Amino acid sequence: MKEGEDRREGTVTRRGFCQAAGLSACALATGGAAAVSADFLRPRVLFEPATTFTVGPPDAIGPGAVLDFPAYRAFVIRLPDGFRALSSVCTHLGCITRRDPDVNLIACPCHGSRFTLDGDVQSGPAPGPLRWLQMALSEKGEIIVDTAAEVPQGTVFKF
């Protein structure tokens, strides 16, 4: 200690305080940069929902049944001529349609379009029919629908 300095034990000098503050700021900046870098390097994975789903054995679906699968945005319908799967996404602006059992139609809650069980537009602003979807039978004998695979309108599956 130089002559004339008044230092008491346990006190912090201005220089010591500035050094500690500078080191703390550097540590914070380094930690922040490391966190940003780690976040940048983490892979960005977009988890899409599955496009296929299992309906069940064909015999479990009675004639005239209209099954709604809102999680997959699809209907599975059994009519006398066979099975069909329709997208429940309205062709107007993409709202999710629902079956209206009172009139045996598929109705859109947004702007009032109505579709027949063949997906044809019966009324409303929808510009075209609902999409028809691919169906298949699994090795276990259960119906599988692929919402990503479209088939021509009128494609009926007989299982």
Residues that bind ligand FES in the complex, under the rule CB under 6 A: 90, 92-93, 95, 108, 110-113, 124-126
Q: Which two tokens stand for residue 21?
A: 């503050």
Write down the least CB distance from residue 77 to ligand FES, Å.
19
Q: Which is nearer to ligand FES, 98 or 137 (CB)?
A: 98
Give the shortest CB-96-to-ligand FES separation in angstroms.
9
Quick one: 105 or 108, whose CB is closer to ligand FES? Answer: 108
**For residue 151, what is the DSSP state?**
E
Q: How far is the CB of 118 from ligand FES (least distance, A)?
A: 17
Among residues 100 and 142, whose Cβ is nearest to ligand FES?
100
Nearer to ligand FES, 55 or 108 (CB): 108
CB of 90 to ligand FES, least distance (A): 3
- State how far the alpha carbon of 103 is from the alpha carbons of 52, 73, 99, 148, in Å: 29, 21, 9, 29
Give min distance, CB of 83 to ligand FES, in A.
Answer: 25
- Give the single-character DSSP code of 23: H
41-78 b/e with 16+ CB inside 10 Å = b? eeeeeeeeeeeebebeebeebeeeebbbeeebbbbbbb
Q: In Å, how far are 9, 74, 77, 137 from 81, measured between CA atoms?
A: 97, 19, 11, 17
**Closer residue to ligand FES in complex, CB, 122/155:** 122
- Whether the Cβ atoms of residue 126 and residue 113 lie closer than 8 Å to each other: yes
